Structure 1
Amino acid sequence: MLGDLNRQGRRSWAPGRAVERAWTFDRADRRDLRWWPQGVDVRGSTVALTWYAKKLPGDAVTQGARVTFFDLETCRYRHVLLVQPTLVDGTPGVAPLPVHAGGLVWAGDHLHVAATAKGFWSARLDDVLRVSHETAYGYRYVLPVHTAYRASADDGVERLRYSFLSRDGDDLLVGEYAAGDRSRRLARVPLDPATRLPTGNPEVLGDGVGHMQGVVRVDGRLYATTSHGRSRLGSVWTGTPGALTRHRWAIPMGPEDLTHDLDSDRLWSVTEHPWARWIYSMKRSWFD
C-alpha cells in the first residue's frame, strides 16, 4: 500500500513561533467538511494520521474513521478506511469504525487508535486489505481492527477517557481532553516489549491542563498541545503533571494530537480546521 500513494500534498507554511516545517494536503482534503484530522505518529519519513468523519446532511451513516500515510519526501499520501470485520448470514464483510480517533500510536506493526470513553482499538498493519471501491465508500484499501481495549474503573471512580494517545518510551501515554470542571488526567498504559500490545491497567500520573489535545513525555518532561478556537494560535505546555508552563502562540490554530520522533528529537502535530490543515514539526529544544 505504501507503494501505491494516490494523492499529492505539498510543503507549506504554518503559523506559530515554534513551527519549524509544515506540509499540507491536496485542495479537496484541505477544505473537506466531512473528514477532520486528529491523531498523529511518525515512522522515519512517513507520517500516519487519523481522521474522523462528521455526519453531513444526506449521509445515511457516518463513515467512521480513517488513517492516512503521508510520505514527507514526496508529499504523496493515501487514505485507508478503518473498519470492523462483520459476518452477516455467513457472509464476511466490513463496517466503518465509529470513533473520534483523537490519538494514534504506531507501535511495531500495530496501530493503536483512541476511542474516548470506549478506550482504544488496535489494528495490525499486515492486515491492510485491497478491496473494490463499492465495498468501502470508494476506498481502495481498508484496515480492520482486531482488538478493543475497554475503559473501566473501580466503583465510584470516573472511567478514564482516551481522548488522545502517544508513546511514552515503550508504553502508551493517555490523556483526557477537558473543558470546564471535567477531569484532565494523564495515565500510562504498559505495553509488552515484544508484541507492543497492552499488558496491564492504566497508572494515573497526575493532571494536565484544560483543552489538552495531545501530550508526550520525553526524559521525564511533558509536552502538551492546547487549542483556543478556530482563529487563535495554539499553545504548548511543558513541565510535570500539575506544574505545566504555557508557551503562547507556539503552534497553529486547531492543534490536535502530539508525537515525538526520537531520531530527530522533534515534536510533530496536525491541525484540524478546513483551509487551515497542516502537518508540522517543532524542534524540542525550542522549548528549553
Structure 2
Amino acid sequence: MFRSHPEYRNLFIATCLAGVGLSGCGPEQEPLLADESPVTGTQALTEGAPLTTHDASCLQLQDQNTWSTYASYMTPVGPALGLSSIVQDLNRAGPMLTSTTHPPAVGYKGGFRWNDGDMSTTDWIPQALTAGVSGSTNVAIVSWHYAPTTAPEKGVRISVADISDMSLSAVNYRHILLVRPTSSGNFTVVPEHGGGLTWFGNYLYMADTSDGMRVFDLTQIREVDTSTTCDTAIGKVGSVWCAYGYKYVLPQVSAYVQPSTITSPCRTKFSFLGKDTRGTTDVVLSGEYCNNGDTPCPYDGSTPGLGGRLYRWPVDSTTYRLKTVSGVVKPERAYIMNEPNVQGVAPIMTTTSTTSYWLSSTRYSGALFKVSTSASRTAYLSGSGQWARMPEGMHATGSGTNLWTVTEGYNGTTNPATGGRVVFFADQASLD
C-alpha cells in the first residue's frame, strides 16, 4: 500500500451501545485446535514463525445500522442498478498478459494489465481485489485510492472487470466511484485508503483503516451526470448529480466500527480484507499492515513489524451481513502473523483447515507467504523470480484452483513484466 498517503479517519465516531460492554457479547470464539495456544501481551516475535493464536476477546465491532436510511437517501438520485447492468457497460480494455509481458510467478496461469492511462497515472493507486459472479459473468473488483494530497479528495474508486474469458485479447472494465450518502438526494466521497475488499452476496466490504469495515450494496449502483459541470464536483449540483466525471456511483449502506472506548493494544487496524468459506461459518478476514518503520504495531515487542494480527469475523449465511448480537460482532478467532508488510490474505483452498493462509506482502519488494499454525512459512519472493513485485489484495476461488492478486506498481514502471500494475492468477496446487 502506498503508505505516504494519509490514512483517513472514518467520518463516523463510534459510540458504545447502551448496556453493551466490551466483553461477554457476540458469538463465542471457536475452541482452540490442538496445535494452538493463545498468547497475550507484548512479546518478541520471529519472522516466518507459525501463526500464533491471539486472544481477541477484548475486541468488538458495532453495526452502525444505517442500512435502510442510506438506501432511502439515494432514491432521488435515480433507479437502482445492479452489477449485472454495469458489466454490460464496460468502457475500458486491459490487454491480456503474454509470455513476454507477465510478471514472474510460480504457478502463473494468466492475467491482464490496465489500459495505458491507468498504468501510468499517479493520481490513483491499485490496492485491493475480490472476485465473484454476477449472473453468468465472472467479475473481479479492484479498489484504487486517490493519491494527491493537494487536490480535492476523491476517495476510493473500484474497477469492475469481466474475467469470464481469459483467452480473449483484453479484459473489459469500468471505474465506479464509491460514495457515502449524507442526506436525502445527496452524497459525498469515501476518504479512505481502500486497502481491503471482500464480496458476500450483494455486499462489498471495504477496509476502513482506523475504525472497521464499510459496506456497499452492489444492487444500489446509480448512474450520474458526466457533463463538464461534474468534472470537479461531487453530490447534487443544481438539478443533476455529480461524481467527478464518473458515470456510476456505488453507495455505502452501513459500517461496522470499533467503539471509541477500545484502545491500543486491543484496538486494531483494518488494513486488508479477505474471504474464507472453508469452515462451518463463512468469515470476513481482516488484518493489520505493520512494518519496522512508522507502523510497528502494538504486539511487536523488540521485533517491530511482525505483530500484525489476522481476524476471522463470522458472516450470516442468510443476510450476508456480519453476525451480530445486540448490534455487536466479535471475532471468532485471531492470530499474530509473524510477518511484516502484509497487504492481503486469502485462504488456502486446497485444504479444509481454517488454520492456513496465503499472505501477500511488499516485504523484499514483493512476496507471497504460505503460513499456518503448525509450520514455518514458505516464501515466494519477487527477487528470486517467484512472485510479482508489490502485490496487494488477493482472492482464492472457491474451487481451490486459482489464486488471484493485484499489484500496485513498482518504481513508476509501466512494463507489466518488471513491476507495472497487473491483475493475475496462479495455480494454487503449484504453489501448495
In structure 2, the partner of 1:191 is 315
> Could you give the per-residue CA deviations for residues 157-196 of structure 1, whole angstroms, max 9, x where no partner exists?
3312111111111111111111023230011001100111
* Segment of structure 1 superposing worse, 214-223 or 184-193: 214-223
In structure 2, the partner of 1:287 is 431
In structure 2, the partner of 1:238 is 370
Contact 1:127–1:143 under 8 Å retained in 2:
yes
Contact 1:49–1:67 under 8 Å retained in 2:
yes
**Is residue 158 of structure 1 aligned with residue 261 of structure 2?**
no
CA RMSD of aligned residues (A): 1.8
Partner amino acid, structure 1, of 2:91: N
Higher Cα radius of gyration: 2
Residue 3 of structure 1, aligned match among 66, 76, 88: 88
In structure 1, the partner of 2:331 is 202
Contact 2:276–2:284 under 8 Å retained in 1:
yes
CA separation of 1:287/1:130 partners in 2, compared to 1, >3 Å: closer, same or farther?
same
Q: TM-score, normalised by structure 1?
A: 0.91
1:22-37 equivalences in 2 (<5 Å)? 22-37=111-126
Partner amino acid, structure 1, of 2:378: T
In structure 2, the partner of 1:143 is 250
**Is residue 67 of structure 1 aligned with residue 197 of structure 2?**
no
In structure 1, the partner of 2:36 is none
Contact 1:270–1:278 under 8 Å retained in 2:
yes
Q: How much has 1:266 moved relative to structure 2?
A: 0.7
Q: How much has 1:257 moved relative to structure 2?
A: 0.8
In structure 2, the partner of 1:278 is 422
Contact 2:380–2:387 under 8 Å retained in 1:
no
Q: How much has 1:212 moved relative to structure 2?
A: 0.6
Structure of higher RCO (CA pairs closer than 8 Å, 6+ residues apart)? 2
Q: How much has 1:116 moved relative to structure 2?
A: 1.1
Q: TM-score, normalised by structure 2?
A: 0.62
Partner amino acid, structure 1, of 2:178: L
Q: What is the DSSP-based 3-state SS (H/G/I as helix, E as strand, rest coil) of the residue aligned with 1:30?
A: helix
> Could you give the per-residue CA deviations for residues 36-93 of structure 1, whole angstroms, max 9, x where no partner exists?
1111112242111111101254x1x210001111112351100010001122xxx621
**Is residue 175 of structure 1 aligned with residue 282 of structure 2?**
no
Gaps of 5+ in 2: 1-85, 231-241, 298-306, 324-328, 415-419
> Could you give the per-residue CA deviations for residues 192-214 of structure 1, whole angstroms, max 9, x where no partner exists?
00111111212442111111111
CA–CA separation in structure 1 for the residues paired with 2:124 and 2:319: 31
CA separation of 1:155/1:103 partners in 2, compared to 1, >3 Å: closer, same or farther?
closer
CA–CA separation in structure 1 for the residues paired with 2:174 and 2:399: 24
CA–CA separation in structure 1 for the residues paired with 2:308 and 2:111: 29
CA–CA separation in structure 2 for the residues paired with 1:197 and 1:228: 33
Contact 1:65–1:101 under 8 Å retained in 2:
yes
* Segment of structure 1 superposing worse, 93-102 or 67-76: 67-76
Partner amino acid, structure 1, of 2:283: D
Partner amino acid, structure 2, of 1:260: A
Bigger fraction of residues in strand: 1
Q: How much has 1:286 moved relative to structure 2?
A: 1.6
CA–CA separation in structure 2 for the residues paired with 1:69 and 1:264: 23
CA–CA separation in structure 2 for the residues paired with 1:7 and 1:116: 29
Contact 1:23–1:279 under 8 Å retained in 2:
yes
CA separation of 1:156/1:278 partners in 2, compared to 1, >3 Å: closer, same or farther?
closer
1:222-261 equivalences in 2 (<5 Å)? 222-228=357-363, 232=365, 234-241=366-373, 243-249=376-382, 250-261=386-397
Contact 1:69–1:78 under 8 Å retained in 2:
yes
In structure 2, the partner of 1:14 is 102
